[in-house]
Amino acid sequence: MASSLPSPSLLLSTARRKPSSIAASTAVPQTKDTMRIPPEFDFKGYMLTKAATVNRALDLAVPLADPRRIHEAMRYSLLAGGKRVRPILCVASCELVGGSEAFAIPPALAVEMIHTMSLIHDDLPCMDDDDLRRGKPTCHRVFGEAIAVLAGDALLSLAFHILSNPNSYPSSPSPPSSLIVRSISELAFCVGSEGLVAGQVVDIESTGVSESVPIDRLEYIHLHKTAVLLEASVVLGAIIGGGSDSQVEKLRRYARCIGLLFQVVDDILDVTKSSQELGKTAGKDLVSDKTTYPKLIGLEKSREFAEELNHEAKQQLEEFDSEKAAPLVHLANYIAYRQK
């Protein structure tokens, strides 16, 4: 799977067109792409409804059982707010290929749990040593390092338990076991030593070194730290929704574009916004000598690159029914034009 990721240079080569204007107040200039949004689609309402469904399901998935402290820590980080972009992508992708929301909830919860687990572990003192996450003190600052490590481990295994537990799905009809196995395989691969973990390892190795980090290494980090899980979110939804192989691959390409887009915008926001606005320690990437897009290719070129990725993502949706594809079109814009 990692071997079939588009090469970084291929992705970069799409950043060739010049935007007509640069809006300094947003991370990415809003060009003609934004005109594609069907005006009748209530994106804000869609996001609020889906996020509420996801939040209710997350709340139920991690009851305050014994031992109490570990469940408190899991709930603290999992229910800390977040934008729920990954689970909503999962649900939107499942519904796009004709699956029901109920089928998409287990994989949607699983990807959010994996995401939260990676944040908890990445924030640890031995890694990025972050004090603030989603506007609140990080898990290890509240519960201590040992519980933070274990909360991450527990969320990681809970993700696979939810995916594999027959009680997670509607009983009739329920998704075929073969699709569940395929989705578990996708998710497991994306977390491991060729996915999220690989991205974090290369990120750590690239931090604080004296020579500058080349662009292909930066893209490797982002593809693995961010894009693989966004990809898994979209792909798991498409698999569990019963999408055809060609639909799954189209959506995989869409997800890879918005995956890189997500990180580029994150880097831009880190330079242009304050800590208070972001809910995390802003400018930290620059202070701690982390390689970012603005540092490497400048702020303007970073914005251009983001716009191209957004354009390419939407191209993948052209063969789908435009009304049904509206949520994913809007989600790409949301990622491109978000303010935090």
Which residues make up the interface to a second copy (CB under 8 A)?
Answer: 65-67, 69-71, 74, 117, 121, 124, 126-127, 144-147, 149-150, 152-154, 156-158, 160-161, 163-166, 176-178, 180-182, 184-185, 187-189, 191-198, 200-202, 204-205
Q: How many CB atoms lie within 10 A of CB 276?
A: 9
**DSSP SS3 for 153:** helix
If the CB atoms of residues 158 and 326 are measured against a second copy, the closer one turns out to be 158
Q: What angle do CA 12, 287, 126 make, to 5 degrees?
A: 95
Cβ–Cβ under 8 Å, residues 283 and 302: no
Cβ–Cβ under 8 Å, residues 117 and 98: no
C-alpha distances (whole Å) from 161 to each of 60, 63, 106, 158, 166 are: 14, 15, 9, 5, 9
The least distance separating a second copy from the CB of residue 178, rounded to whole angstroms, comes to 4
The least distance separating a second copy from the CB of residue 334, rounded to whole angstroms, comes to 28
The least distance separating a second copy from the CB of residue 157, rounded to whole angstroms, comes to 4
Cβ–Cβ under 8 Å, residues 14 and 256: no
If the CB atoms of residues 195 and 243 are measured against a second copy, the closer one turns out to be 195
If the CB atoms of residues 158 and 264 are measured against a second copy, the closer one turns out to be 158
If the CB atoms of residues 113 and 332 are measured against a second copy, the closer one turns out to be 113
Closest C-alpha among 338, 331, 339 to residue 90: 331
The least distance separating a second copy from the CB of residue 160, rounded to whole angstroms, comes to 4
The least distance separating a second copy from the CB of residue 158, rounded to whole angstroms, comes to 5
If the CB atoms of residues 120 and 261 are measured against a second copy, the closer one turns out to be 120
